[in-house]
Amino acid sequence: MGKPFDIWNESSPLAEEAYRRDNCRIEDHPGGSGTCVIYCSSNNIWFPNEEAVFRRRILEDDAYEWTRIRVPGASREIFLRDIYKSWYVTGINDRLDTLDKLIAFLRQQCRGYSTVVIGSSAGGYLAALLSAKLEAAYAIVFSAQFELRNPWAMEANPFLQRYRQEEERSRYYDLKDHLADSKTPVYYILPGKSPQDLHQLEHIRQIPCVKPIVLRSRRHGVVVLKGNLKDLLSLSREQMEELHRRGQGKALSPIGFSLELAGVKKTLAALGREALAQVKKRLPAARKGARE
């Protein structure tokens, strides 16, 4: 086990160095479709909470989520991360240090484009907020949080606790009012056996723009098979709407969802890749046990 790292200690030189960075990557692709896609990293952007992991992922690798699987054909792509893993309550850096400043910056960057927003968990929280504030074409969010005053978020996060009485930062702790009148569909894919995700589902069930797709799973995060992500992110808004319509009133297993989305051949391929990834993940531990 590595040296623990208290990222919420703002006097940490490593945290200060990282917060001075942009924590935003913008890529332009000439000849694209006229779409700007914003990818919002989750609190899993670096894990576990160890100094070596933080140094490698943030300071050395300059890592962002969603860089390997993307919406095809975008003209502009924007990758965001929150190095404090606090639902972006302190923005992304020491210049864009509130959500309002971040929203204003992104509004400028997206001007003239049709905007799509993607995120999971804490990244899904930001993606849902941005979908309304930027009047995006649509958003796809996985296991998103829509309110942060719950035990799974508030009780575990010192920054959320610190700023809960500060209006400028806490005004977005509950997204219900911000989404209530939004015309942007938020396609919300969640695990229907996860208590924290069921709490969020109940919280926004009456919000018209949020369109849940419930899978029979306990896995918080990107609940679909990873091999399905490319096909899923390739769908148009109209195709996402049809996927939501077909899933209303029922809960599919991740495999059942994959069959609906991609068919038998691609589902078998996705399952094979997941099985291989699990084997590779377990090999180091198995080798270590054999040596001991």
- pTM for this entry: 0.93
In a domain, 270, yes or no: no
Domain total in the chain: 1
**What is the Cβ-side half-sphere exposure of residue 32, based on CA atoms within 13 angstroms?**
18
Of 11, 26, 153, which is closest to residue 89 (Cα–Cα)? 153
In a domain, 107, yes or no: yes
SS3 readout for the chain: CCCECCCCCCCCHHHHHHHHCCCEEEEECCCCCCEEEEEECCHHHCCCCEHHHHHHHHHHCCCCCCCCCCCCCCCEEEEECCCCCCCCCCCCCCCCCCHHHHHHHHHHHCCCCEEEEEEECHHHHHHHHHHHHCCCCEEEEECCCCECCCCCCHHHCHHHHHCCCCHHHHCCCECHHHHCCCCCCEEEEEECCCHHHHHHHHHHCCCCCEEEEEECCCCCCCCCCHHHHHHHHCCCHHHHHHHHHHHCCCCECHHHHHHHHHHHHHHHHHHHHHHHHHHHHHHHHHHHHHHC
What residues are paired with 264 via a beta bridge?
Answer: none
In a domain, 214, yes or no: yes
Euclidean distance between CA atoms 56 and 49, whole angstroms: 12
In a domain, 7, yes or no: no
pLDDT for the residue 288: 52
pLDDT for the residue 103: 98
Amino acid at 94: D
pLDDT for the residue 270: 84
pLDDT for the residue 291: 57
CB 71 within 8 A of CB 25: no
pLDDT for the residue 273: 80
In a domain, 276, yes or no: no
Give me the domain span that covers residue 117. 13-263
Which sign does the torsion angle of CA 242, 177, 97, 42 carry? negative
In a domain, 280, yes or no: no
> Do the strands 186-191 and 138-142 form a parallel or antiparallel pair, or are they unpaired?
parallel
In a domain, 47, yes or no: yes
Those residues with Cβ within 8 angstroms of residue 138's Cβ, 6 or more apart along the chain or in another chain = 116, 117, 131, 184, 185, 186, 187, 237, 240
- Specify the CATH number for the domain of residue 25: 3.40.50
Query: Which residues in the chain show pLDDT less than 70?
Result: 1, 281, 283-292
Tens of pLDDT along 147-189?
999 999 999 899 999 999 999 999 999 999 999 999 999 999 9
In a domain, 279, yes or no: no
